[in-house]
Amino acid sequence: MEDLSKKFFEKVSYKGEAIKEFYNTIWENYLYIRRETRIIKPTISEISIENFLKLIKSTGDYYAVISVIKKLEEFLTEINEEGGDPYLNAALTNLYSLRSFVSSACIFPCYVLVRNVIENIVKSVVYTKLSKGLNAEYLPNIMFFYEQQYGWKKIYSPIDLSKKSIKKIQIIHNELSEKKFYYEKIINLFKQNNFPILGINRNVIEHLPQFLGLKHQRINDSCKLLAELYTACGAIIHGSALPFLSLLEFKFFKYFLEKAVENIIHCWKLLKV
């Protein structure tokens, strides 16, 4: 089972949508074992969860997943000095929720949270870079609240976002005469000027090094892998969770999360400006 989960992860690392094949295999095996046409009813209960947790703790898989979550939590807490980056705070919030789902042996929703963490990291990098280029230190904080309320106009390219932001931010600067900026006032100015926000997809993640002018092969490989993992998360979130607890699913997610965290940390160290 260990080798099988590794084999499927290797496929996903090259093509994110291959995660559908992984879950199709679990479903096919389940239906083959059932050999029935009756309605499929969930077999998950409080007792089954307790027994499953005992199993994955005995194999060490549970502790491996919790450990890698804690590793990323500690890393983000360390780099987020004084908790000043709202996107890193959001990533930490998602990690706390991720830990809770794992502790309940509930894996399917975890992909949404991993996807959110990757988005948070990418936005932190891009908006921090833009804030320095546009001489607008408040940009990451403002964009975080602005996109929660008015985030319908998205641009799926950091380079295009930068180009479209220059004139708009100059207009906003001219209208801000106070030394102390108030979030509400700035957000209203962003809304009035129809300020665009960054949309995230696999291309944005994969080509992040180009936006920052980095050409190291390792950073390109790491961003490409994160792009595939991000795609994998998006490929299954509209599907149905398994109606039973699966050790193969948990082991696969262990490798998925380990590689995601490893490359998030590596990318941050090289991408952060």
So where are the chain's domains?
47-271
**In terms of DSSP bridges, do strands 197-198 and 154-155 run parallel, antiparallel, or are they unpaired?**
parallel
What confidence score (pLDDT) does residue 39 get? 62
What confidence score (pLDDT) does residue 40 get? 67
What confidence score (pLDDT) does residue 81 get? 78
What confidence score (pLDDT) does residue 32 get? 75
Report the alpha-carbon distance of residue 26 to residue 33 in Å, rounded: 11
What confidence score (pLDDT) does residue 181 get? 60
What confidence score (pLDDT) does residue 148 get? 86
Q: Which stretches of the chain score pLDDT less than 70? A: 34-40, 83, 151, 176-182, 272-273
What confidence score (pLDDT) does residue 142 get? 87
**Is there a contact between 209 and 215 (Cβ–Cβ < 8 Å)?**
yes
What confidence score (pLDDT) does residue 50 get? 96
Segment 135-146, tens digit of pLDDT = 778 888 889 988
What confidence score (pLDDT) does residue 178 get? 56
Nearest to 115 by CA among 198, 197, 202: 202
Amino acid sitting at position 63: Y
Question: 195 φ, ψ to 5°?
Answer: -65, 130
Amino acid sitting at position 227: A
